[in-house]
Amino acid sequence: SAMAEERALAMVTCTAPVNIAVIKYWGKRDNDLILPINSSLSVTLHQDQLKTTTTAAASRDFAEDRLWLNGEEADVGHPRLQACLREVRRLARKRRGGSAEDTAPLSLSYKIHVATENNFPTAAGLASSAAGYACLVSALARLYGVEGELSEVARRGSGSACRSMLGGFVQWQRGERPDGRDSLAHQVAPETHWPELRVLVLVVSGEKKQVGSTAGMQTSVDTSPLLKHRAEVVVPERLALMARHIRERDFEGFGQLTMRDSNQFHATCLDTFPPIFYLTDLSRHIIALAHRFNAHHGRTKVAYTFDAGPNAVIFTLADTVAEFVEVVRCSFPPAANGDQFVRGLPVGSASLPEELLAAVVTE
């Protein structure tokens, strides 16, 4: 058989999406393997507005591993990045060892260069680590010719990253095994399942969060009895319910449970000692606004969720976007918010009826 020819340089580029959890992950049972105390469920966003792009190259001419984040060189020695690299290489070695007809695309001992960037401002405070690690792992896997289950590897970069390896509605199964082999992401429903679903990100602050997720959830695991109850009792019930709402495209059920789960996550933050505050007054104004909007319509038409920061993610259906964006515009006038107030997909215009204005736009 022909001897595989080693290549001097190989390079691949991948993109990966952001995901937003509707049943939150908060707390690890193993910090090194990143194994969660509860399963979680998220919605993967379309990549046309928000995505990470990563190029990975390997060459025998590279003297050292290097990494660039949004154009600036960063520390390649980060333990989580190293864990991802090690795991992908291990899978590649396994694959090559296993097959008789080895195509050996490139040497596993070559140094690598990785450049990654987000097409959204990092200041938007979106879970960029999820898209970032999902993208890194996809790029490395392609580079080394590794296929198959990769959510387990992405999980080693950032827990939530394993959910960005799939589109649509995704559950990260906590798993039972100490080695984490069963702590994987799987699709609950594909992206085509609910085409009317829309997401609005209300950027409250572009500042970096005070307490990162990793440190925050560790303190919560150590001190919050509410988090323990949530992981053991509340989340298992909610996961089944959420999956059903999604299957049935029941927006009211989906939206109410999304809001309740976000609120309970932030309650566990307050129950943490010393307490962690991710929501700000402005976040709470948005929560109140959403409830007034829903009360006015007599049903759940918008649902908020907040991660480890003050920015709101709003889920709604296509037919509600224009009206709700107008409500946001009236409540938080663009004049005080810079000129590029709305970006993303085009939003239709809506004029708000007097009663809605009076009932909903109170400040």
Q: How far is the CB of 244 from ligand DP6 (least distance, A)?
A: 20
- What is the total count of residues that contact ligand DP6 (CB under 6 A)? 15
237 to 39, 106, 108, 113, 275: CA distances (angstroms) = 11, 47, 45, 44, 26
Candidates 49, 173, 205, 214; binder of ligand DP6 (CB under 6 A) is 214
Here's the x/- map for ligand DP6, 284-313, by CB under 6 A: it reads as -----------------------xx-----
| Token duo for residue 13 | 């580029």
Q: How far is Cα 137 from Cα 15, in angstroms, rounded to an integer?
A: 11
Under the criterion CB under 6 A, does residue 21 sit at the interface with ligand DP6? yes
Candidates 52, 160, 305, 316; binder of ligand DP6 (CB under 6 A) is 160
Under the criterion CB under 6 A, does residue 34 sit at the interface with ligand DP6? yes
| Token duo for residue 303 | 């649902």
Under the criterion CB under 6 A, does residue 276 sit at the interface with ligand DP6? no
Q: Which is nearer to ligand DP6, 10 or 23 (CB)?
A: 23
Considering only residues 36 to 95 of the shown chain, the ones binding ligand DP6 according to CB under 6 A are 40
Cα-based angle 325, 328, 330 (whole degrees, multiple of 5): 110
Q: How far is Cα 230 from Cα 223, in angstroms, rounded to an integer?
A: 13
Question: In 3-state terms, what secondary structure has residue 175?
Answer: coil
Q: Which residues contact 34 (CB under 8 A, 6 or more apart)?
A: 28, 155, 156, 158, 159, 180
Q: Which is nearer to ligand DP6, 217 or 290 (CB)?
A: 217
Q: Which is nearer to ligand DP6, 92 or 313 (CB)?
A: 313
Q: How far is the CB of 342 from ligand DP6 (least distance, A)?
A: 24
Q: Which is nearer to ligand DP6, 118 or 129 (CB)?
A: 129
Q: How far is the CB of 101 from ligand DP6 (least distance, A)?
A: 38
Which residue, among 292, 288, 296, 299, has the nearest Cα to 255 in the 3D structure?
299
Q: How far is the CB of 205 from ligand DP6 (least distance, A)?
A: 16
Under the criterion CB under 6 A, does residue 131 sit at the interface with ligand DP6? no
Candidates 10, 16, 17, 24; binder of ligand DP6 (CB under 6 A) is 24
Q: How far is the CB of 217 from ligand DP6 (least distance, A)?
A: 6
Under the criterion CB under 6 A, does residue 128 sit at the interface with ligand DP6? no
CB atoms within 10 A of CB 187: 16
Q: Which residues contact 295 (CB under 8 A, 6 or more apart)?
A: 359
Q: How far is Cα 135 from Cα 81, in angstroms, rounded to an integer?
A: 12
Which residue, among 173, 174, 172, 166, has the nearest Cα to 193 in the 3D structure?
166
Q: CA 312, 313, 315, 320 torsion: positive or negative?
A: positive
Q: Which is nearer to ligand DP6, 213 or 264 (CB)?
A: 213
Q: How far is the CB of 166 from ligand DP6 (least distance, A)?
A: 14
Which spans of this chain sit near ligand DP6 (rule: CB under 6 A)? 21, 24-26, 34, 40, 127, 129, 158-160, 213-214, 307-308
